[in-house]
Amino acid sequence: MTEPRRPSLRTRLLLDVLVPLMITWVLGTAVTVGVAYFFTQRAFDKAMLHDAYLLSSRLSLKNG
């Protein structure tokens, strides 16, 4: 019987190092984008609320 072939060094490096590294990179990027989106939306919402308050302070009711 023949002995099964051992994977090459290139294959071992791809499977043992680069694949987990790519998974970590993708997950880290997703978390970073999610956190940045969250804080960007909060800042935008706060600015919009400030503008709405400013606009409402300039309005007044007439004939009613």
pLDDT tens sequence across 4-33: 889 898 999 889 999 999 999 999 999 999
What phi, psi does 28 have (nearest 5°)? Answer: -65, -40
Q: What is the pLDDT of residues 29-51, one digit of tens each?
A: 999 999 999 999 999 999 999 99
Separation in Å, CA 56 to CA 11, 43, 52, 64: 65, 20, 6, 17
User: Which residues lie closer than 8 Å to 15 by C-beta, 6 or more apart?
Assistant: 7
What is the torsional sign of CA 47, 48, 52, 53?
Answer: negative
